[in-house]
Amino acid sequence: MLANKVASGMSKGFHSRNDLMNKILLALAITFSSALQAAPIQEEVFVLGPQPELLKELVGHADITVDHLDSHGFEVYGPKGLSKWLDQRGVSYYDLKDARKDIDWTNYPSYEQIKAKLEEFASKYPQIVRLVSIGKTVRGRELWVLKISDNVAVDEIEPEFKYISSMHGDEITGRELTIRLVDEMLKKYGTDSQSTDLINNTEIFVMPSMNPDGSELRQRANANGQDLNRNFPEAVRNDPNNAAGRQPETQAIMAWQASRNISLSANFHGGAVVANYPWDAKYERHPFDGLLQTISLEYANLNPEMRSSSEFSRGITNGADWYVLYGGMQDWSYIWHNDLQITVELSDSKWPNYADIPRFYTSNRDSMIRYMELAHQGAGIKLANRQATGRVEVLNAQGASLGSYGFQRGEFYKILPPGSYTFKVESAGERRNVSVKVEESRVSPDGNYIAL
């Protein structure tokens, strides 16, 4: 449906431009694309200059991905015919595949080596690390997630947090940094209070590689040529939260997220240096816009390069203000799962020289730890019945509603700005008003849960 909507919107411009390639591209869109599956990415270019009209036209086209807009221009990914179409319009661009010839791929670990490293964590620290696969990629590789927590085999009631990296396979920095972060926290467990408190009081999930096929292929898309960060259900399009027909990597994330109570997360990318917060798909501000800016600043402030960015004020940006995208993971995770997610762009170079990775780790390490602690800036309820489902309406101190959220598995947790709130809890036909107080994040042993 979206493809048709966008296509009819695009067709308005055709008569004046009389552009054959427009029609070819449009034909491709009609033939192949839907909200679920775009035409495979085959051409990748960097369009030079601001080009606001072109940008407007490309954003939202089901077969086109626009990414990394900056003062020099923006990236465009699309099906065969994209560059000819741009040629016809006299647009200046360069081919990103040519630019990639300069990349030094050497010394990066392979999928098998990453797997071995994750297995080593799990076997070395069996009390606090568990390695699970949440599904398989197009090529049959496992999608590994580390759970890190005390009593790791038990599903405890603790705030749940996750880091996911490299859903774009060629944006590799985050894969390396998340593995280094885990390594450091595990080594320091029991001696360093910051790592120990986090592990003891949080259920931490780390997925270093959401698109291992793409990383092995040195490409953005998965092995089906699909951009995974355009493949999630999109509220703006009225998509149902339905995994059927989506990419296997997307399906795996959707099923996993539905099985957890994750309330804070970040998703690591590369190609810029900025912390990007929802919404991506609409200009309207998020109901927790102030909180999102605060948590993004917590990340950016501890990263000297991000904080002093010349492209982004204070190193943060609203997603749609940067550029609009549909089907992204961060909007989806909050809309359907009450999981506040930001997108962190870690390095201007998507695939830096391996020798530079320690430097990127140094500049992101404090931010990564601090951001995890924010998982404790909230409040929750826990019910004796671990199977209980229900809803919680969150009211601020003045009694105004801040939204209503479903919960399951007897547990609800919400990240909130410091202050006093009322949770109107409805479960099994019973209603209760619970007063909660949220303080500046500090990792607390009880996770700020109230037992009902």
171 touches Zn ion by CB under 5 A: yes
Closer residue to Zn ion (CB): 77 or 256: 77
Q: What does the alpha-carbon distance between residue 228 and residue 87 come to, in Å, rounded to a whole number?
A: 28
Residue from 106, 240, 122 nearest 179 by CA: 122
Burial status of residue 26 (CB atoms within 10 A of its CB: 0-12, 13-18, 19 or more):
buried
Q: In the complex, what is the shortest distance from the CB of residue 171 to Zn ion, in angstroms, rounded to a whole number?
A: 5
Q: What does the alpha-carbon distance between residue 146 and residue 162 come to, in Å, rounded to a whole number?
A: 10
Q: What does the alpha-carbon distance between residue 153 and residue 446 come to, in Å, rounded to a whole number?
A: 19
Q: Give Dmax over CA atoms of the chain in angstroms.
A: 70
Number of residues interacting with Zn ion: please give it, by CB under 5 A: 3
Q: In the complex, what is the shortest distance from the CB of residue 417 to Zn ion, in angstroms, rounded to a whole number?
A: 28
Closer residue to Zn ion (CB): 162 or 269: 269
44 touches Zn ion by CB under 5 A: no
Closer residue to Zn ion (CB): 269 or 382: 269
162 touches Zn ion by CB under 5 A: no
Q: Is the dihedral of CA 274, 279, 284, 288 positive or negative?
A: negative
68 touches Zn ion by CB under 5 A: no
Interacting positions 257-316 with Zn ion (CB under 5 A):
269
Q: In the complex, what is the shortest distance from the CB of residue 272 to Zn ion, in angstroms, rounded to a whole number?
A: 9
Closer residue to Zn ion (CB): 129 or 281: 281
Q: In the complex, what is the shortest distance from the CB of residue 270 to Zn ion, in angstroms, rounded to a whole number?
A: 7
Q: What does the alpha-carbon distance between residue 410 and residue 387 come to, in Å, rounded to a whole number?
A: 5
Choice among 158, 171, 345, 411 that is catalytic? 345
Select from 125-133, 154-162, 165-173, 334-342 the region that touches Zn ion (CB under 5 A).
165-173
* Straight-line distance from the first to the last Cα atom of the chain, in angstroms, rounded to the nearest whole number: 45
Binding mask 392-431 for Zn ion (x = CB under 5 A): ----------------------------------------
DSSP structural state of residue 326: S
When binding is defined by CB under 5 A, the residue of 115, 141, 147, 168 that contacts Zn ion is 168
Q: What are 46's strand-pairing partners?
A: 75, 94
Residue type, 211: N
Q: In the complex, what is the shortest distance from the CB of residue 219 to Zn ion, in angstroms, rounded to a whole number?
A: 12
Task: Please name the residue that has the structure tokens 């749609």.
Answer: 320
Q: In the complex, what is the shortest distance from the CB of residue 166 to Zn ion, in angstroms, rounded to a whole number?
A: 8
Closer residue to Zn ion (CB): 328 or 390: 328
Q: Residues 6 or more apart from 102 whose CB is under 8 A from it?
A: none
Catalytic annotation on 411? no
- The footprint of Zn ion (CB under 5 A) covers 168, 171, 269
Residues tagged active-site: 345
